[in-house]
Amino acid sequence: MKKKVLVTRAVFDETLAYLAQHFEVASNQADEKYSPAELAVRLKGMDAALISSTDRVDDSLLSRCPGLKAVCSFSVGYNHIDLGACTRHGVMATNTPGVLTDSVADFAVCLTLATCRRLTESEAMLRRGEWKGTHLKELLGMDLHHAAVGICGFGRIGQVIARRLKGFEARILYCTRHRLAPERERELSVAFAAKDELLRQSDIVILILPYTPETHHYIGARELGLMKRSAVLINVARGGVVDDAALIEALKARRIWAAGLDVYENEPKLDPGLLALTNLVLSPHIASASEPTRQAMAMTAARNCVAALTTGDPPNLLNADVLKQKA
Ligand code: DGY
């Protein structure tokens, strides 16, 4: 008998066709987000699930799905999965590292430029029919070229952002838990700085660090107070890394100059205070959303799922300790 797999959100036909070669597949092509209670019901009798970053996997869910052997997220971030709970329940958890690195790095540069050059504010003015022709002093922005850019979080994506910014002749500072080897720093032309120093020195701060209890409100009122008044803050990491309420206050008071956000606390609900600000560029968590990259993310999750249920050793396993348990 074929094993059963649930796909919790809409995916590509190719992904479903690939999964169907191996499993009996139930999918949610209508793309309505399941509530935790509904997800538990739909997971009954399933051997594995392809999930998105909008699905919370924790003790409460797993205790209601005893047959589940794997949860394969089509995301690189995995703060929605309680790995300890997965291990306790003997469930393998996987993510999709690598395949979205370049697209997220491209988008980080895109959001930085849009924010520095006031792109959405300019477009809104045009659409309102308020443009009276070019004025020397109108809609003046900031330059990315030759700016001091601080990158917080310097894993795969942070390092590719640094490579992109070399083309803008930016001076790059970075901070991360594990400092790079000196040769790698030289190769990337980047300098390590402690968090507070980076915030003080940077014209632009880009956040691309994982969301964990330690990085909750990594940028709050204190940190915003350390930044230059002319600074720009970009968040392509996760909501919750920035204290949205503190950011709203800082942008209102022009404590920093502008911000660009792709992620929010309490997604998909946005604090109405964000919507009222003109010195803020907003996008709906689309940093990885290029067609080829989203295809690759879905296929990576599907391959993880096939490996989990056949060899029991998926390539992007997040909780390797679960295998020891099974041995
Ligand atoms: C990721 O892969 O983590 C993206 O943010 C999509 O959730």
Q: How far is the centre of ligand 1, averaged over its atoms, from the C-alpha of 9 (Å)?
A: 14
Q: What is the pLDDT of residue 197?
A: 98
Crossing angle for the helix pair 13-20 and 291-310, to the nearest 10 degrees: 10
pLDDT digits 0-9 by tens, 37-60: 999 999 999 999 999 999 999 999
The span from the CA of 74 to the CA of 97, in Å, is: 9
Model confidence band, residue 327 (pLDDT cutoffs 50, 70, 90): low
Active site residue 285: yes
Note if 145 is an active site residue. no
pLDDT in tens, 62-76: 999 999 999 999 999
Q: How crowded is residue 134: how many other Cβ atoms within 10 Å of its Cβ?
A: 7
- How far is 263 from 287, CA to CA, in rounded Å? 9
Question: 51, 15, 19, 17: which is closest to 34 by C-alpha?
Answer: 51
Judged against a pLDDT cut of 90, whether residue 323 lies above it is answered with no
In whole angstroms, give the CA distance from residue 318 to residue 129: 51
Going by the DSSP 8-state scheme, the letter that residue 81 receives in this structure is: B
**Confidence bin at 326 (pLDDT 50/70/90):** low
Distance (Å, rounded) from C-alpha 73 to C-alpha 96?
7
The sign of the dihedral angle between the CA atoms of 148, 149, 153, 159 is: negative
**CA 189 to each of CA 96, 158, 162, 298: distance values in angstroms, whole numbers, following the listed order:** 28, 13, 8, 34
Question: What's the gap in Å between 263 CA and the centre of ligand 1?
Answer: 10
Q: Whose CA is nearest to atom 3 of ligand 1?
A: 77
Establish whether 294 is a catalytic residue. Answer: no
Residue nearest to atom 1 of ligand 1 (CA): 75
Say which of 238, 265, 294, 303 is annotated catalytic.
Answer: 238
Mean pLDDT of the chain: 97
For the whole prediction, is pTM greater than 0.75? Answer: yes
CA of 36 to the centre of ligand 1 (A): 20
pLDDT confidence band for 325 (50 / 70 / 90): confident
pLDDT score at 324: 78
Distance 78 CA to ligand 1 centre (A): 8
For residue 53, report the distance from its CA to the centre of ligand 1, in Å. 7
Ligand 1 nearest atom to the CA of residue 74, by list position: 2
For residue 288, give the 3-state DSSP assignment: coil
Provide the angle, in degrees to the nearest 10, between the axes of the packed helices 101-116 and 119-127.
60
Decide: helix, strand or coil at residue 64.
coil
Count CB neighbours of 136 within 10 A: 5
Closest residue CA from atom 2 of ligand 1? 75
Radius of gyration of the chain (CA): 22
Query: Is the peptide bond between 268 and the residue preceding it cis, with omega within 30 degrees of 0?
Result: yes
Percent of the chain predicted with pLDDT > 90? 98
% of the chain at pLDDT higher than 70: 99
The model's pLDDT over 195-223, given as tens digits with 9 standing for 90+, comes to: 999 999 999 999 999 999 999 999 999 99
Q: What residues flank ligand 1, with Cβ below 6 Å?
A: 53, 75-77, 100, 288
> Number of helices (H) and strands (E), helices first, in the chain?
14, 12
312: region left, alpha or beta (phi > 0 left; psi from -120 to 50 alpha)? left
Which pLDDT tens digit goes with each residue over 224-269? 999 999 999 999 999 999 999 999 999 999 999 999 999 999 999 9
**Ligand 1: which of 9, 54, 75 to mutate, most ligand atoms within 8 Å of CB?**
75
- Over residues 267-305, the pLDDT tens digits come to 999 999 999 999 999 999 999 999 999 999 999 999 999
Q: Which atom of ligand 1 is nearest to the CA of 297?
A: 2
Supply the pLDDT for residue 156.
97
> The dihedral of CA 194, 200, 204, 210: what is its sign?
positive
